[in-house]
Homo-oligomer: A and B are copies of this chain.
Amino acid sequence: MAEPKGETAADRAYRILRSAILSGRLPTDRKVTEAGLAEMLDLSRTPVRNAVGRLLIEGLLQRRKGSGLWCILPTRDEIRTIFDIRARLESYAAARAAEFATPLQRAELVASAARMALLVDEMLSDPHADVVPRIDAENALFHCKIVEAAHARRLELLLQSTIDVNLVTLTLQAYGTEQRMRSASHHHEIAVAIAGGMVELAGKAMEVHILSAASFVLTDPQADHPAPRQGKMPVRPG
């Protein structure tokens, strides 16, 4: 998951910088520079510029003309907006999946939902086991497979820059037993709807799934910012 082999230096810079910004390891109260980031990552400016370009497009960085880059952490309102956008785009993806998914994809979605249910059971029966990362991975896989099954490259590209693993993980970390069970139940409903070709239901079920997560995260007092840290922290190149 961390460092794919065929990854270019630019990809690596992008992955590390994006994670560093969203987890608050880069300062938001002062400028950073391409040269500085390059030194930090032990790279030349070329791949860093590539990564910075993508982050500018995603809005996680902003350029103040001649005066450095500034990291932009999404505010609570912006996180709300991101969930709203996800609800609209992913429900469209689910609806399309119900219409266009291959038989194999439908089966895989049902299987993923089943695995998720098992994982939640495991969590309930043995709270000490380290199942949470596996739940996170299964969740990511499920959403990813739906977008693939929608057969809409445009949708993939848009969601890719909207859904960030850091934000999703943040969401899931805020989840408790109750919410995880409900979430697993949602996955089952969505998978069955898609497998059965029920376009409307699949879309609406996904909408509920996402907005439910949003409402939970945003009403939880702890889940404010992703690590609203201030001081400068080193980002290790590895």
Contacts and interface: CB of A to CB of B under 8 A. Distances in A.
Interface of A: 49-50, 53-54, 57-59, 74, 78, 81-82, 84-85, 88-89, 92, 152-155, 157-158, 161-162
Q: List the 8 shortest-distance A-B pairs measured between CB atoms, nearest first.
A: A88-B88, A81-B152, A59-B157, A59-B153, A81-B154, A158-B158, A82-B154, A88-B92
Contacts of A158: 85, 158, 161-162
Copies of this chain held together in the complex: 2
Contacts of A92: 84-85, 88
A208 to B, nearest CB: 16
A84 B92 CA distance: 8
Contacts of A81: 152, 154-155
Contacts of A162: 154, 158
Given A49-B50, A59-B154, A78-B153, 17 more contacts: A54-B57, A57-B57, A57-B161, A59-B157, A74-B154, A78-B154, A81-B154, A85-B89, A85-B92, A85-B154, A85-B158, A88-B89, A88-B92, A89-B89, A154-B162, A157-B161, A158-B158
